[in-house]
Each structure stands twice: as C-alpha cells, then as structure tokens.
Structure 1
Amino acid sequence: MTDNKVADVTGIGFGPSNLALATALAEPAPPGPGRPLKAVFFERKERFSWHAGMLLDGATMQISFLKDLVTLRDPRSPYSFLNYLHHADRLSDFINHKLLFPSRVEFHDYLAWVAGFFEEQVTYGSEVVDVRPVSHGDAVEHMDVVVRQRTAAGERTVVQRTRNLVVATGLEPYLPPGTLRSEHVWHTSELLHRVEQLPSAPRRIVVVGAGQSAAEAAEFLHTRFASAEVCAVFSRYGYSPSDDSPFANRIFDPAAVDDYCAAAPETRRMLLDYHRNTNYSVVDPELIDELYRRVYQEKVRGRPRLNILGASRLASVEPAGEGVDVTVESLVSREHTTMRADCVVYATGYRPADVRGLLGSMAGLCKADELGRVEADRQYRAVTEGDVHCGIYLQGATEHSHGISSSLLSNTAVRAGEIADAVRADAAAMRGCDVRT
C-alpha cells in the first residue's frame, strides 16, 4: 500500500526530538509565498512515551524547565512547559514550589500533552524497515519510506513517499557483550515494568553501573523493598558528582554547537573528554549524599542493607533456581565473591541507534567517517554522494560532529528549529522562490 501524497517531511520516531520538530513545523512560516508543509511521523511504540521505565517517584529532570520543546527557540510558543502548567491549572503552584527542575513524571506528562496536538500526523505501532531512493533521470528526488504497521487485523506494509527524512529514533539500551536478558536480568529502561514481577520480599538485588540511572535505581529499590539487600557494583571507587556549574553547562548552549562544528577533530575529542562529567557516568551530588547517608546510618544501626561495591566488576551471572548467582571481582585484590540474587539490574547506559542500518537502501548514498558514522553538515543534514536532491536529517547520532548536546534535551528546541528552517528553505528553492529568514 502506497501513500500517493508526497510528504515534505517524514519523521522516523516520535520522541521528544521529532515532537519538537512537529512544533517547529507548526509555527508560522517566515513571510513569503508557499504552502504549509506536510509532515508525517512513524513511531514504533503503541503510544507516546519517554523513558517510561524510569519515571520514578521523586526523580527530577536534570535540565531546567526552560529547556522544553520550544522556549529557547520561541518563548511565545503555545507548546511551552509554562503553557502546559497554565492549562493544567498548576502554574501558581509550580511557581510557589520554587522549582527549576520539574519531576520526571511531570515533564513526561508535559511531553504527552504536546504530543496530543499532533495525533493526526503520527502513526504509532509502525516500524520503518527500509528507505528506498526514488530517481528521476540520474537524480534522486524523493525517498520511499517502507513501514511495517501493526493493526487489529494483523501486520501490513505501507510506503510513504517523501522529500525529506528526519531520523530521531533516540538511544538504545546498552548491555555488556554476552549479557542475556531474562526475567532476572534487566536494563534500567525496564525497571518499573519489571519490578512488579519480583517477589514481595526479595532478598538481594544487584545494580550494575555508576551513573545517574544506577544511583536512582539503587535508591528506588532500597526504598521499595525495606528488607532487601541492594548491592551497587561499579568499577569506580565511588559515585562521581556531575558538573552542573554554570561555565561547564555552556557546553549545552546552542552557540556551543557552532564552536564544535567549526573545531578541528582533535579539538572536538578534547572538548568531549573535558566535559563528559556533565552527562556521562556521573550522579547528582544530592543523590550521592542521600545514598551515603543511608549507608552510614545502616552502619550505625548494625544492619547494612545498601552495599556499595566500588572498584569491582561483575565476573559472571548464572541462572540459579528462582534467581541468579552473581560473582563479583574486586579490581583491587582480584578476589571473587559469589552471591545469590533475585535479579541483576544493568544501568549501563545507552548507545545511538544504527542509523545506516535504519536507512537501508539509502545508506549507500550517505558519506560516513572512518568509524562508519554518518557525516552531517551544520544543519544536521546527512552529507550525501551523487546527485541527491532530497534531505536526510539526523536528530541524534551526531555527537561526533555536533557535540555532546546532539542527543540531549538541552538543545532540542533550537536543533528542531534549525532543521525546520532548512526544510522550508529547500521547499522554497524547489518552488523557485526567494527564501526569507
């Protein structure tokens, strides 16, 4: 089945990045001739959700509410977090709460509220399986996006022809090589869904990882199961605090993308290395203090339940009855300790999705660097080879070319606006119009 109406923009994925793009395309275009752009989105999930497995009570965002889907691009937008609060009749309450960082649950509700405005443009339960070039003469003018959809009557395949493609599939949960998921071995992305399957009084839970998600999971499980032992295993000596200082946070500013794109490759690597502690394998200092307080108080009472196994690694995880046998190796003494656990929760982070695999037949027309990463210009448009007139834009998978904010919420509003402007400019050029900005 083919949609004969050519879309100006087709988005793969409908998380925060392409949701922000939808809001940018919905904004009034700059003055000039033209028509509204037709945009459609395909999302693999059955409904809108964002990190649903980690919507823990008490967990807060690590960015200001002003870094929502629109405000840095257009503070007057109707899709702002403040307008959401106004419609929810909580604006005064939020102000009185004196919050800069809303709860993760509330921010998810905000995102879902915005997504509700674009339900006619997005098709859920849809997985893109190929992107095929459509040539006119020697030039590739369009792409056919092949989509497998799940319906009440079963699966069907549809083809959407498009002028531009925006890939925003987000990050994929990462597990160490050789790790096998099971009912006793999970990733933190599944935490809230899986925790209900545990016994009402588990004896021991092992959490692997040293970042924010690992610390949140340890704190959540320690609170949820009042008699369980929670063992946190990681190779660092202890949790490291995130750098949330004002000067360091400038690495997330929109202007930092210009600097990063203009820098030499060795400078880009240096900047990433210097500022990894703003985002990777680090924990909010307040949460570190809370976990340390718990460890200390349990030592005072002589009933240690939260055990921090630093400078250690998981040597093996083996199925054992209604749980797993976990062997932990000390990186200092090389001593091995084996313990029975009800489950192992891996908080080992995320990795960018395989963009080239997703692009299918179009992947061969995209330039890649020596590591196989798709190259993109300043407007996040994939650099193509040959006579390709259609555009492929990347939201995420561009950290190597655009910096640490390329897959984060911090710069989403501005990034989406830049892509929307580029698509509008392309559409105007196709009509032979002058572009006004």
Structure 2
Amino acid sequence: MSPFLEVKTNSGSITCKPICENGENTLLQRSEHNGFLQKPKLCPVEPQEIHNLLCIGFGPASLAIAVALNDALDNANCIDGKQPKVCFLEKQHQFAWHAGMLLPGSKMQISFIKDLATLRDPRSEFTFLNYLHRHHRLVQFSNLGTFLPSRAEFEDYLRWCADHFTDVVEYGQEVLEVSPKEVSEPSTKIDYFLVSSRNIHDGSVSMRKARNVVIAVGGQPHIPVSFPSDEPRVIHSSQYRSRVPTLLPDKTSSYSIAVVGSGQSAAEIFRDLHYKYPSAMISLIIRDTALRPSDDSPFVNEIFDPERTDHFYNGLPAARADALRADRGTNYSVVRLELLEQIYHDLYEQRVKQPDEAQWQRRILPSREITHVTKDEGSKCGKLSLTIKNISPLGSPPGSDQEMLEVDAVILATGYVRNAHEKMLKSLEHLRPQADNNWRVRRDYKVEMDRSKVSADAGIWLQGCNESTHGLSDTLLSTLATRGGEMVDSIFGTAHANGE
C-alpha cells in the first residue's frame, strides 16, 4: 500500500493528520479517556454520498475490518489522498456479542491472542493485552495463568474496540436489500450499489450508495421444523439471558424445562439452569448417544491457522466437504472437557442422593429426537407437550420407542443458519456470471460478478458464511485479525487501485 497519512511521535503521544472529506487537515491526538484511546477515527460522511465501503452488520467480522482499516490509516493513504468514506449499519441498538449467552463462569474457547489485531499486527492499539493495560488489569490477568478470559470480559474488550468507531456506525438499522444503481444504457457498467435499510425505532427507510458492500450479519437462529416458530415458550439459546427470566420469573418454582442440543451452548445452559432454578426438573435432550468433548489438541487446532485458509480454498469441493466432516469435532455438537466433567460430577451427586434415575431433577436423555410439540390447552400455565422419539442405533427396549414430556419452556441450542445474504442480494442475481446459479466467492471473499456488467471498482463481499469454501474458521473468531487485514488490502490496496 502507499502512505495514508503522516504519523509523528512526540514524547510518547502520537498525533495524526488525516485528510478528511472537506480536504482540511484535522489534528487528532490519542489520549486516555474512560479506559480507551481516542483514536484518529474514520470521518463520518453524509448518507447521500457514495461510500467506498459499507459494511452490513457490526459484529466481530466488521469490527475486525474497522480495526484493520484504522491501523492502516496510521501509516498510509490509499484513495486519492483522502480518507475512505466508510459506514457500518447494525440492526442492534448498540454493540453486543452473543449477549444471550454471557453466562456466569463461561470462558472463551480460544486464546486471547486470537483477538481482533494480534495475529495481524501485535503492535496494534487494539490488542486484548492493550485493552487490559488500558483498564489497569494486565498484571492481575497474568496472575490467572490462563489464555482463556471469561466470555464477559472478551465481550467487554470487543465493545471497547467498537467504541472507537461510533462516528461511522449507524445502530438500529435493519438492511432490507442491496440493489444495483439505475443505469440509463444497458451497456453501462454498475459502479456502485444501493443499500436500503429500515430504522427499527421509527420505521423510516433510507438509502445509501456504496462501491463496495460487505455483508457480515452473522448467523440467524436455526429452529428445527418440529418446533413452532411463534411459540413464546420455545426459546433459542441466543435469547436465553433476555427471555428466560421473564418467562420463568420464580426461581424457587418447580418448573419443568427442556434443553435441546449437544454442543457447548446446550451444556452451558443445562448447568446454568441447575443453579438458577434449584427446584426445577431439567432435561437435556440430545440426538447423539452421549455428550462428546471438543478436540482442541494442538495439532488438530492447526486447522484454524490463518495460512490454512489458502490450502482449504484451493482444494476440490469434494475434498473440502470431507475435511469439514472430519474436523466437525473441533466445533460442532461438542463440549469442552472441563465443562463435561463438571456436569458429570453434578449428576453423580444426584445418584448418591437418589439411586432411581427417573426421580432426578436433572437428566440427560441421549439418542432422543423431539418429533412433535403441542400446547397443552388444559393446562392453566400453558405448558408444552413434547413427543420424544428414541433414535438409538441399537434400537429401544419394547414400549420405550416414544415418550411424552410436559414442560414450561424449551430452550433450543440448535445452532445457526448463515444464508441471510441470499435474500439481501436477490435483486443482484442477474449480475452473476451466466454459468453461476449460486453466489460464488473468491479467495479474498469477493463475490464473482459478470465483469461485462459490473465495474472492477465495485464489489460485494461476504463474511461468516463461507465455511464450505474457506474452512471451519470462517464462522469463528480464530482468523478475524488476519482476515480483516486481507479485506482492507483487497478493497483499498494497490491491486484494487490498479483494477486487478
């Protein structure tokens, strides 16, 4: 890249002179304020202007791009001597990361080194260690002797990073569609896109223009077909913290609660309910024959190394699918061993007190599948009746192939679907290459477009929905720092400027 702007250091204080849209030099100084640095922020621009980059969603993926771009602005200038015009649109009213699953005692499953910056540039101001330093906890954290901070602390770190970019983030904006600009002649190439969004507070719809659009909206809750999507007593794990206290307000009541799923979220919820509702009957229903530990051994963990993305992307589709199946035990339907041991200990204590497993307050029901859910109309409390099928590969004892369970709530830890981009890009389907019936993504995450219709200076980029082409790390935090830098370089780097 060529230089963005000049950086000078005077007595440890860094001053920057970014060139804003009006062409004036604005002096910005980094200083401590409420635990974070006043970074030289990207300049906000009017909605009617053409943005160089518009990111849909402001979760960790877009935040990593903002951090990488901010770091690049410390050293270089890539767009005609001016700062890029950037905007982030986020549906939530403030930054939040898996707020529904910030449970007491829950820890990260990856090292803090895999933060938003360290693997790209450990000298960045946005590293987790610098966050600790700015909050006067670096020494105390080191005394913990762990690479795994609590999930609540890591979420606070992410919010600390996000706070630096409030000038270029529009919260409370639900993006409806990405469409091509209107052209007067069929031969005219599309050189920017229109992004329409609705204000979730007043319902007003606005339109923004952008040459490059990044879709990074994360996953949408997956609700199995056997469950009614409009039933208030059926809750997805993403809403666990916000909805369960309202639905089940009496912590001393003998509620009956079912948790569905066999992954980390299901296990965490199962144990959290154990302490929040000590009188409740809690059942963990799983399809597998047992809860299984995640494989986070060092050699297997190398599949999440940033350089593995190249190797995975260059593989044949069948080989990539085989690799994903082989490596599922690192991420899907698995639980950290420490938590498994804690749950087993809890169940063992029940066995000591009550030998009859049918009388336990907390049970794991393996090899089960919920096939039907009905509301018990005769119940004053509006309980749900679950039809549960035994799907053991060994078969079930006579008369036990099906059972009924009446519950006050069902919590679904059933994962996410990552296809929100398909609806957003519906009006752009005619811009795909003729041979493509689906959205095809290049190694640099840019969607393939018909270059006879779309300018090389315009593009759509996808984040967090490319597992089949970029590997298991695509939906995880592991490669965010490196990927954020790759995105900035692809969109604003010299190759882009030369039209390559």
| AA in 1 matched with 2:386 | V
Matched, 1:150 2:200: yes
Counterpart CA distance in 2 for 1:252 and 1:366 is: 30
Task: Point out the more displaced range, 11-20 or 193-202.
Answer: 193-202
Residue 138 of structure 1: how far off its partner (Å): 2.0
Secondary structure of 2:49's counterpart equals strand
The answer as to whether partners of 1:129 and 1:360 remain within 8 angstroms in 2 is: no
Q: Once the two structures are superposed, what CA deviation does each residue of 1:346-366 show, in whole Å capped at 9, x if it has no partner?
A: 111111033121123223323
Tell me which protein shows more strand as a share of its residues: 1
Q: Once the two structures are superposed, what CA deviation does each residue of 1:232-284 show, in whole Å capped at 9, x if it has no partner?
A: 11111110110001111111111110001111112111111110110011111
Matched, 1:194 2:243: yes
The answer as to whether partners of 2:59 and 2:96 remain within 8 angstroms in 1 is: yes
Secondary structure of 1:419's counterpart equals helix
Residue 368 of structure 1: how far off its partner (Å): 9.8
What TM-score do you get using the length of structure 1 for normalisation?
0.93
Aligned equivalent of 1:140? 190
Secondary structure of 2:190's counterpart equals strand
The answer as to whether partners of 2:289 and 2:367 remain within 8 angstroms in 1 is: yes
Aligned equivalent of 1:125? 172
Matched, 1:160 2:208: yes
Task: Point out the more displaced range, 388-397 or 56-65.
Answer: 388-397
Aligned equivalent of 1:170? 218
Aligned equivalent of 1:381? 446
Tell me which protein shows more helix as a share of its residues: 1
Aligned equivalent of 2:470? 402
Q: Map of 1:293-332 to 2, 5 A cutoff?
A: 293-302=345-354, 304-320=360-376, 321=379, 322=381, 323-331=383-391, 332=395
Task: Point out the more displaced range, 273-282 or 20-29.
Answer: 20-29
Residue 32 of structure 1: how far off its partner (Å): 6.5
Give the total of aligned pairs.
428
The answer as to whether partners of 2:228 and 2:373 remain within 8 angstroms in 1 is: no
Compared CA separation, residues 254 and 428, structure 1 to 2 (3 A): closer
The answer as to whether partners of 2:226 and 2:373 remain within 8 angstroms in 1 is: no
| AA in 2 matched with 1:312 | R
Residue 428 of structure 1: how far off its partner (Å): 5.9
Q: Quick one: which of 62, 68, 80 aligns to 2:115? A: 68
Counterpart CA distance in 2 for 1:335 and 1:254 is: 46
Q: Map of 1:51-130 to 2, 5 A cutoff?
A: 51-130=98-177
The answer as to whether partners of 2:286 and 2:367 remain within 8 angstroms in 1 is: yes
Counterpart CA distance in 1 for 2:255 and 2:125 is: 49
Counterpart CA distance in 2 for 1:415 and 1:285 is: 29
The answer as to whether partners of 1:202 and 1:342 remain within 8 angstroms in 2 is: no
| AA in 1 matched with 2:487 | I
Compared CA separation, residues 299 and 166, structure 1 to 2 (3 A): same
Counterpart CA distance in 2 for 1:90 and 1:369 is: 55
Q: Once the two structures are superposed, what CA deviation does each residue of 1:313-358 show, in whole Å capped at 9, x if it has no partner?
A: 1132211232212222222325222122111111111110331211
- How much is the aligned-residue C-alpha RMSD, in angstroms? 2.0
The answer as to whether partners of 2:226 and 2:372 remain within 8 angstroms in 1 is: no
Q: Once the two structures are superposed, what CA deviation does each residue of 1:138-184 show, in whole Å capped at 9, x if it has no partner?
A: 21111111121234xx2222211111011100011101014214221
| AA in 1 matched with 2:234 | V
Runs of 5+ unmatched residues, structure 1: none
Q: Higher RCO, 1 or 2 (CA under 8 Å, sep at least 6)?
A: 1
Counterpart CA distance in 1 for 2:405 and 2:374 is: 11
Q: Quick one: which of 246, 257, 272 aligns to 1:220? A: 272
Identity score, percent: 38
Task: Point out the more displaced range, 361-370 or 133-142.
Answer: 361-370
Counterpart CA distance in 2 for 1:362 and 1:427 is: 25
Q: Quick one: which of 63, 78, 81 aligns to 1:19? A: 63
| AA in 2 matched with 1:83 | N
Aligned equivalent of 1:267? 319
Secondary structure of 1:128's counterpart equals strand
| AA in 2 matched with 1:191 | Y
Counterpart CA distance in 2 for 1:39 and 1:381 is: 18
Q: Quick one: which of 364, 368, 371 aligns to 2:430? A: 364
The answer as to whether partners of 2:173 and 2:197 remain within 8 angstroms in 1 is: yes
What TM-score do you get using the length of structure 2 for normalisation?
0.82
Secondary structure of 2:493's counterpart equals helix
Counterpart CA distance in 2 for 1:414 and 1:268 is: 21
Matched, 1:207 2:259: yes
Runs of 5+ unmatched residues, structure 2: 1-45
Structure number with bigger Rg:
2
The answer as to whether partners of 1:367 and 1:374 remain within 8 angstroms in 2 is: no
Q: Once the two structures are superposed, what CA deviation does each residue of 1:280-300 show, in whole Å capped at 9, x if it has no partner?
A: 111111111111111111011
The answer as to whether partners of 1:242 and 1:282 remain within 8 angstroms in 2 is: yes
